Amino acid sequence: MSPSNPVTAPISQKELVIQLRQFAQDPKHQSALIENEECLKTLAEVLLTAVDNETCVIALQTLQFLASNPKYRLILKEVPKLMSSVEQLKKGENEIKK
């Protein structure tokens, strides 16, 4: 007996940010990504909840690709918790260096 709608496995946090980074690398897809509020909120959230450092770095790379377009910078600045997450990461890095 096979189900008519197979259940797909949930995507991991890392797989998700890898896919978002792939979209962000392509200027043709950046506009769709920057217009998707949920994707941007997810990237901001991943910065502080990443299961490992690599996932956090991938999220930062994704944001960097988007921020490389000057017209997207103001949009990114308005993403809830994004700037504070980046600041928290910077603060944590400074504490590690001490």
- Tallying the residues shown for the chain, one arrives at 98
Query: How would residue 92 be classed by pLDDT, with cut points 50, 70 and 90?
Result: confident
Examine residue 1 and state whether it is found in any structural domain, yes or no.
no
Q: How many CA within 13 A on the CB side of residue 9?
A: 5
Please give the span between the terminal C-alpha atoms of the chain, in angstroms, as a whole number.
61
Quick one: which of 17, 57, 60 has its CA closest to 39?
A: 17
Q: 6-59: per-residue pLDDT in tens? A: 567 789 999 999 999 999 999 999 999 999 999 999 999 999 999 899 999 999
On whether the CB atoms of residues 63 and 76 are closer than 8 A, the answer is: yes
Task: Tell me how many degrees the CA angle 19-24-28 measures, rounded to the nearest 5.
Answer: 115
> How many domains does the chain fold into?
1
Phi/psi of residue 36, nearest 5 degrees: -95, 100
Q: What range does the domain containing 66 cover?
A: 13-97
pTM of the model: 0.83
Does 86 map to a domain?
yes
